[in-house]
């Protein structure tokens, strides 16, 4: 089978740190081009300033990976899908739920594959956590996601703009794991979002969800964490405690701790190749829906200005 010719659109940190190495390591793909108005690309690979240029002038591509900020994702995805080009959407899949619905319908009509990628679902501990929880009775869940925004998102102005998710940009990773491993759907009951007075997006959130059996799920998000960082999900069950830490890569069960090699983006690209080869899409908006619900339902507080 010929490799899938893919272009990476948006050459920021996530493209260079994750997408390019994952594509280079997967024989199902060949990197056909990179696209960015702000970047020179990489040696030996055609580089274009815009997706329009790429689609007009070539080189030919079968698929694109959109690694731009979410605010401009819809127009690019629409342009690609309209030409039958398969689309990989970095998380979050869009700036609104309704635009992602519109893309899903467009992909269906175009016969192209659309993949809303949730990289944390491919962290090493997540699949075994899901399997272990499938036949357990969950009694409570605590999500603690506390990191230092200055360390992890330096200079990313878009993340604070409307359509950027603020502290939910990392927080949605936790929600993508929780919606995947917990045996029941859950939804927000109450919460508080804290927004710096000089920013458009929240810097912290304190949320209480419950699942359809009434089990409580708490979520503590904070971007002001210095010192030790936390990306932990603790699930209490009738068979003891499950803990996923380091963003899903380390799984601790009553029987002990498993450390496995992390292959998040390799897993995503393998999945994307399967979707393309089998003519399917995979667009699960449930993590973004929970974030939209938090923006809709939570109480809002203004906190002190944040300056980088």
Residue numbers at the binding site for its own copies (CB under 8 A): 74, 95-99, 101-102, 105-106, 162-163, 165, 185-188, 190-191, 195, 200, 212, 286, 289-293, 295-300, 302
Residue number, 160 or 269, with CB nearest to its own copies: 160
Q: Is 40 marked active-site?
A: no
Shortest spacing between CB 212 and its own copies, in angstroms: 5
| Residue 24 Cβ vs its own copies, minimum distance, rounded to whole Å | 35
| Closest distance to its own copies from the beta carbon of 112 (Å) | 15
Pick between residue 186 and residue 269 the one whose CB is nearest to its own copies: 186
3-state secondary structure of 250: strand
Report the interhelical angle of 73-82 vs 97-110 (nearest 10°): 10
Contacts of 101 (CB under 8 A, 6+ apart): 285
Report the run of H or E that residue 126 belongs to, with start and end. helix 126-133
Of 49 and 105, CB closest to its own copies: 105
Q: Which is nearer to its own copies, 76 or 291 (CB)?
A: 291
Enumerate residues 6+ apart whose C-beta is below 8 A from 60.
5, 32
To the nearest 10°, report the CA torsion of 41, 57, 113, 111: 180
> Torsion-angle region of residue 128: left (phi > 0), alpha (psi -120 to 50) or beta?
alpha
Q: Minimum CB separation from its own copies for residue 296, in Å?
A: 5
Query: Per the residue annotation, which of 57, 78, 91, 299 is the catalytic one?
Result: 91
Rounded CA separation 66/23 (Å): 13
CB 171 within 8 A of CB 149: no
Task: Name 243's bridge partners.
Answer: 234, 252
Compute the least distance from the CB of residue 115 to its own copies, in Å.
Answer: 20
Burial grade of 107 (CB within 10 A; 0-12, 13-18, 19 or more): buried
Would you say 70 or 125 has its CB closer to its own copies?
Answer: 70
CB-CB contact of 300 with 195 (8 Å):
yes
Q: How far apart are the C-alpha atoms of 235 and 275, rounded to whole Å?
A: 31
Residues with catalytic function: 91
């Amino acid at each position: 089978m010929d490799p899938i010719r893919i272009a990476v659109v948006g050459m920021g940190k996530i493209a260079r740190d994750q997408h390019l190495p994952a594509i280079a390591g997967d024989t199902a793909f060949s990197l056909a081009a990179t696209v960015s108005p702000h970047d020179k690309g990489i040696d030996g690979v055609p580089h274009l300033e815009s997706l329009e240029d790429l689609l007009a002038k070539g080189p030919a591509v079968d698929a694109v990976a959109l690694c731009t900020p979410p605010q401009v994702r819809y127009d690019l995805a629409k342009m690609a899908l309209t030409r039958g080009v398969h689309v990989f959407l970095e998380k979050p899949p869009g700036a609104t739920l309704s635009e992602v619905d519109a893309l899903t319908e467009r992909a269906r009509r175009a016969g192209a594959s659309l993949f809303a990628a949730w990289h944390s679902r491919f962290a090493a501990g997540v699949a075994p956590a899901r399997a272990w929880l499938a036949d357990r009775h969950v009694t409570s869940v605590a999500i603690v996601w506390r990191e230092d925004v200055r360390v992890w998102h330096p200079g990313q102005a878009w993340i604070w703009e409307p359509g950027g998710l603020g502290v939910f940009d990392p927080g949605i990773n936790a929600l993508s794991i929780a919606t995947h491993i917990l045996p029941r759907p859950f939804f927000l009951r109450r919460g508080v979002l804290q927004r710096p007075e000089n920013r458009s997006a929240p810097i912290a959130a304190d949320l209480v969800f419950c699942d359809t059996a009434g089990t409580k799920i708490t979520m503590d998000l904070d971007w002001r964490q210095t010192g030790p960082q936390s990306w932990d999900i603790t699930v209490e069950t009738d068979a003891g405690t499950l803990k996923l830490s380091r963003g899903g890569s380390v799984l601790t069960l009553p029987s002990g701790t498993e450390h496995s090699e992390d292959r998040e983006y390799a897993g995503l690209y393998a999945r994307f190749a399967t979707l393309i080869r089998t003519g399917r899409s995979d667009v699960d908006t449930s993590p973004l829906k929970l974030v939209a619900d938090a923006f809709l339902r939570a109480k809002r507080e203004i906190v002190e200005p944040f300056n980088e």
